[in-house]
């Protein structure tokens, strides 16, 4: 690709003035403790270049060195879905992300609260990046599929490092008489679906929730089977047999009773493969040929079905995906609590509140190992220390503890020792365990209701974990 026209770089002249590039922030995963970040200061990044990574017109391209958030307004990053790439000085991809609005998402990496909202791993990546490129897509669904292909191609360290094998998903299309489209975790991929047993395998997909929504959208266009067993064996299970019959009746599973129907289904499977492979334009051309073929043969019902598929592909509805995307961009709150009975079976918990909703996949449970029995403050400190040891987990915008000054001071001490600056508030309760007040400074944009809801959820989760631990201890105790 031709290099875009230089706008300015470092201290080179731009018009009659000079623009000096800012010094890089020495702050990364390995430097968090050494970094000095005054309260209220913003995160500044190394000189960075932005330009389009697609063969579009010049208006999609731009370049800026020494870039800060204010500089982005001068450049035409599209307010459209797509995939963006943070790259180092040699052009190697450090991070791949997907956005509903490329313009807004790229700007978010130059916000003052990047450390709180995205965590040290992303801050470290941004400080090492020299340029950002993007590829625009027609829909959020296509951006989701493109993101997975790019992660597989480039293996960017900020995407794959620090992730366990449960983090990513793959879409498998089986090599069977009646192919299935199955969602599977990476750790199970080779065991359940080795390459020889598959027509195609797509992934990795970092966002399981959005991938499921994407499959629901695709299924409305091209119905497919996703049974846990091969379709030919589902008759052996009364439950699966009933599920297949029901899903056929509501249009989620296609009819494959005849040879012609099975051939049509296998053709739709090839269409799904083209869509996941990024060949939407080729898929539309193929559908146009099929529609013309059916029309010439006066098979107007089939021609209408293909016409509807073409229309749906050209007008993909991203509503469900947008909801998932906005949920993922909401402010993260982490709430902590400790539960025990006279010091027995102590458990510390972390629950995550994303915007106005709980993010249950991020809940974590900690068995208290070092704190003295009944010492709630020490147990809270131990829980928070062990949580901060997981650097791959994104840092919250706010930490909520159950208690007053003692719990707040303990949490702040742990954060200071880790070199992390996150606001802490405590929920003070009366004798009946009802909230009375919130102590500490609440950051702008976080509601009192969200804090109280996160605290209540942490208390519920802690009690549940504690009761389970007590039951397990009783079952394990020897009987007289």
pLDDT value at residue 474: 60
DSSP-derived letter for residue 478 is: P
Q: What are the phi and psi torsion angles at 151 (to 5°)?
A: -65, -40
pLDDT value at residue 383: 94
- How many independent structural domains does the chain possess? 3
Give residue-wise pLDDT tens across range 307-329. Answer: 999 988 887 756 556 655 655 55
Give the Cα separation of 387 and 369 in Å (integer). 14
pLDDT value at residue 167: 63
2 assigned to some structural domain? no
Candidates 74, 72, 88; CA nearest to 131 is 88
Long-range contacts of 68-76 (CB under 8 A, 24+ apart): 68/22, 68/44, 68/110, 69/107, 69/110, 69/111, 72/103, 72/106, 72/107, 72/110, 74/7, 75/7, 75/50
Q: The CATH number of the domain where 132 resides is what?
A: 3.40.1440.10
Give the Cα separation of 211 and 234 in Å (integer). 25
Mean of pLDDT values over 355-376: 83
Contacting residues for 171 by C-beta, under 8 A, at least 6 apart: 181, 182, 183, 184, 201, 202, 203, 205, 211, 215, 276
Contact 202, 186 (CB under 8 A): no
Give the Cα separation of 315 and 332 in Å (integer). 33
Is the pLDDT reported for residue 1 higher than 70?
no
How many helices (H) and strands (E) in the chain? Answer: 16, 16
153 and 179 both lie in a single domain:
no
Structure pTM?
A: 0.57
41 assigned to some structural domain? yes
End-to-end CA gap in the chain: 79
Contact 269, 224 (CB under 8 A): yes
Tell me how crowded residue 24 is: count the other CB atoms within 10 A of its CB. Answer: 13
Percent of the chain residues topping a pLDDT of 90: 36
Identify the bridge partners of residue 372 per DSSP, sorted by sequence position: none
Give the Cα separation of 22 and 241 in Å (integer). 65
Identify the bridge partners of residue 135 per DSSP, sorted by sequence position: 83
Q: The CATH number of the domain where 398 resides is what?
A: 3.30.420.340
Record the tokens describing residue 400, joined without a space. Answer: 């909520």
Cα-Cα-Cα-Cα torsion 471, 474, 475, 480, nearest 10 degrees, comes to -160
Candidates 294, 367, 421, 414; CA nearest to 36 is 421
Would you report the helix, strand and coil content of the chain in percent, each value rounded to 5?
45, 20, 35
Q: How far is CA 284 from CA 94, 199, 303, 400, in A?
A: 33, 21, 14, 51
Last residue of a domain, one of 255, 288, 322: 322
Is the pLDDT reported for residue 466 higher than 90?
no
Give residue-wise pLDDT tens across range 70-129. Answer: 666 666 888 888 999 999 888 899 999 998 888 888 888 887 777 766 777 888 888 888
Question: What's the residue count for the chain?
Answer: 480
280 and 198 both lie in a single domain:
yes
139 and 52 both lie in a single domain:
yes
215 and 343 both lie in a single domain:
no
Per DSSP, the three-state class of 247 is helix
Percent of the chain residues topping a pLDDT of 70: 75
Helix axes 319-329, 140-154, angle to 10 degrees: 60
- Residues 444, 450, 455, 461: is their CA dihedral positive or negative? negative
349 and 451 both lie in a single domain:
yes
Q: In terms of C-beta density within 10 A (0-12 exposed, 13-18 middle, 19 or more buried), how is residue 151 classed? A: buried
Candidates 335, 346, 393; CA nearest to 371 is 346
366 and 433 both lie in a single domain:
yes
Domain ranges, residue 46 = 13-160
How confident is the prediction for the chain on average, in pLDDT?
Answer: 78
Record the tokens describing residue 278, joined without a space. Answer: 């990024």
79 and 112 both lie in a single domain:
yes
Per DSSP, the three-state class of 331 is coil
Give residue-wise pLDDT tens across range 199-233. Answer: 999 988 887 878 888 898 899 999 999 999 999 88
Give residue-wise pLDDT tens across range 237-278. Answer: 888 889 899 999 988 899 998 999 999 999 999 999 999 998
25 assigned to some structural domain? yes
180 and 150 both lie in a single domain:
no
Contact 468, 475 (CB under 8 A): no
4 assigned to some structural domain? no
Tell me how crowded residue 13 is: count the other CB atoms within 10 A of its CB. Answer: 9
Give the Cα separation of 328 and 225 in Å (integer). 29
Extended strands (E) in 100-242? 131-136, 169-174, 181-185, 198-205
3 assigned to some structural domain? no
Identify the bridge partners of residue 339 per DSSP, sorted by sequence position: 347
Contact 11, 21 (CB under 8 A): yes
Confidence of residue 60 (pLDDT cuts 50, 70, 90): very low
180 and 116 both lie in a single domain:
no
Give the Cα separation of 6 and 431 in Å (integer). 66
Contacting residues for 281 by C-beta, under 8 A, at least 6 apart: none
Last residue of a domain, one of 133, 160, 187: 160
226 and 96 both lie in a single domain:
no
45 and 98 both lie in a single domain:
yes
């Amino acid at each position: 690709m031709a290099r875009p026209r230089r706008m300015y770089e470092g201290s080179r002249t731009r018009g009659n003035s000079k623009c000096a590039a800012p010094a890089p922030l020495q702050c990364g995963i390995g430097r968090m403790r050494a970094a000095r970040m005054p309260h209220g200061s913003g995160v500044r990044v190394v000189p960075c270049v932005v330009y389009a990574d697609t063969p579009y017109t010049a208006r999609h391209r731009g370049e800026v060195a020494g870039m800060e958030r204010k500089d982005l307004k001068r450049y035409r990053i599209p307010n459209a879905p797509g995939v963006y790439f943070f790259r180092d000085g040699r052009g190697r991809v450090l991070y791949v992300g997907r956005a509903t609005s490329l313009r807004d998402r790229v700007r978010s990496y130059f916000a003052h609260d990047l450390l709180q909202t995205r965590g040290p791993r992303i801050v470290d990546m941004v400080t090492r990046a020299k340029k950002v490129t993007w590829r625009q897509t027609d829909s959020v669904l296509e951006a989701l599929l493109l993101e997975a292909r790019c992660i597989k191609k480039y293996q960017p360290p900020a995407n794959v490092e620090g992730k366990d094998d449960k983090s990513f998903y793959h879409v498998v299309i089986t090599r069977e008489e009646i192919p299935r489209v199955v969602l599977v975790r990476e750790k199970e991929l080779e065991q359940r679906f080795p390459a020889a047993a598959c027509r195609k395998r797509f992934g990795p997909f970092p966002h399981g929730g959005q991938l499921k929504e994407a499959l629901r959208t695709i299924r409305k266009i091209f119905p497919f089977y996703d049974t846990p067993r091969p379709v030919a064996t589902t008759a052996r299970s009364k439950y699966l047999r009933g599920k297949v019959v029901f899903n056929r009746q509501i249009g989620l599973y296609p009819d494959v009773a005849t040879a012609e129907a099975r051939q049509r289904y296998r053709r739709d499977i090839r269409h799904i493969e083209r869509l996941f492979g990024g060949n939407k334009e080729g898929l539309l051309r193929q559908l146009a040929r099929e529609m013309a073929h059916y029309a010439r043969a006066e098979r107007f019902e089939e021609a209408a079905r293909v016409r509807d598929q073409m229309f749906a592909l050209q007008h993909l509805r991203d509503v469900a995906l947008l909801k998932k995307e906005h949920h993922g961009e909401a402010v993260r709150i982490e709430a902590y609590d400790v539960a025990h009975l006279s010091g027995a079976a102590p458990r510390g918990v972390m629950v995550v509140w994303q915007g106005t909703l709980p993010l249950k996949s991020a809940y974590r449970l900690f068995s208290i190992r070092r704190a003295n029995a009944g010492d709630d403050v020490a147990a809270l400190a131990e829980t928070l220390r062990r949580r901060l040891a997981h650097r791959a987990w994104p840092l919250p915008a706010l930490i909520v503890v159950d208690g007053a000054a003692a719990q707040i001071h303990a949490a702040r001490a742990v954060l200071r020792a880790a070199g992390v600056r996150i606001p802490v508030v405590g929920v003070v309760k009366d004798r009946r365990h009802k909230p009375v007040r919130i102590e500490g400074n609440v950051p702008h944009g976080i509601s009192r209701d969200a804090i109280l809801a996160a605290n209540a959820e942490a208390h519920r989760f802690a009690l549940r974990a504690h009761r389970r631990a007590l039951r397990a201890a009783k079952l394990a105790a020897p009987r007289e």
